[in-house]
Amino acid sequence: MNKKPIYKRILLKLSGEALLGSQQHGIDAETCASLAHQIKEIRALGIKIAMVVGGGNIFRGQVESKRFGLDRSVADYMGMLATVLNGLALQNALEQIDVPTRVMTAIQISAIAEPYIRRRAIRHLEKDRVVIFVAGTGNPYFTTDTAAALRAKEVGADVILKATKVDGVYSSDPFVDKTAKRYKKLKFIDVLKRNLRVMDSTAISMCMDNGLPIVVFNIFEKGNLRKAVMGQKIGTVVQ
């Protein structure tokens, strides 16, 4: 068993749903606090931490554009603003336990978050600050999965840790299909060929082209984030 982390710099991808807790909508304070403590634990190991957070717990652009008849671009911008709310909630939870944090946004909202500038983001990481990237890529039609792959490469992350509510990647939805098979390891090309819902195809292709591994794991099982950075065999590794 490794005594030291196998990664020096990570990009933690959190879906908006990860912040729901037991609620149906919005942000659960206890869940935010729990996530903050897990992040603080791995930061103490000397790991540089960047994060990308989704907004699906508040507003999901692609879904809501169809439901409300919104223009897709407008709906996607609304979804980006939802990620800002989540990023600020996570920042608050982290700073309440003395973890220095910066929120960087792809859409300029100078009163509440820094504009995303690559060199500044890297400098924050070097100063041991947790950096939370919000507003996706700043462009409609791109998901926060793609934003995670893009930011991970830009700041030199060794891996994307995809935090979910299931313990890896399955052949089908394990909540629906009890015979679904969990994969321990997958190749990027197999994820694309089998249309497995790890991340969207643009994000997977970007990771494949740049040799950036993804670890998919259950964030709600206590200690799993630490296990992931220590290289223990949890979840599914895509590379």
pLDDT tens figures, 214-228: 999 999 888 999 999
What's the pLDDT score for residue 96? 97
Residue 3 pLDDT more than 90?
no
Residue 236 pLDDT more than 90?
yes
Cβ 86 vs Cβ 19: under 8 Å: yes
Region at 70 (left for phi over 0; alpha for psi -120 to 50; beta for the rest): beta
What's the pLDDT score for residue 95? 97
DSSP classification of residue 47? -
- Percent of the chain having pLDDT more than 90? 75
Residue 56, token pair as written in the block: 């699906």
- CA quadruple 33, 200, 147, 138: dihedral sign: negative
What's the pLDDT score for residue 180? 87
Please calculate the CA angle 186-189-193 and round it to the nearest 5 degrees. Answer: 100
Pinpoint the alpha helices (H) of the chain.
29-43, 61-68, 72-95, 118-126, 144-154, 188-193, 201-210, 224-229
* Model confidence pLDDT, tens digit, residues 125-170: 999 999 999 999 999 999 999 999 999 999 999 999 999 888 899 9
What's the pLDDT score for residue 198? 87
Task: Specify the CATH class of 9-238 in words.
Answer: alpha beta
The amino acid present at 18, given as its one-letter code, is: A
- Percent of the chain having pLDDT more than 70? 97
In whole angstroms, give the CA distance from residue 99 to residue 116.
Answer: 20
What is the pLDDT confidence band of residue 1, given thresholds at 50, 70 and 90?
Answer: low
* Model confidence pLDDT, tens digit, residues 66-95: 777 788 899 999 999 999 999 999 999 999
Mean pLDDT for the chain? 93
What is the residue extent of each domain of the chain?
9-238
In whole angstroms, give the CA distance from residue 237 to residue 227.
Answer: 13
In whole angstroms, give the CA distance from residue 11 to residue 229.
Answer: 11
Can you tell me the mean pLDDT for 163-180?
86
DSSP 3-state assignment of 212? coil
What's the pLDDT score for residue 166? 86
* Model confidence pLDDT, tens digit, residues 32-58: 999 999 999 999 999 999 999 999 899
With residue 59 as reference, give the H or E element that holds it. Answer: none
* Model confidence pLDDT, tens digit, residues 94-106: 999 999 999 999 9
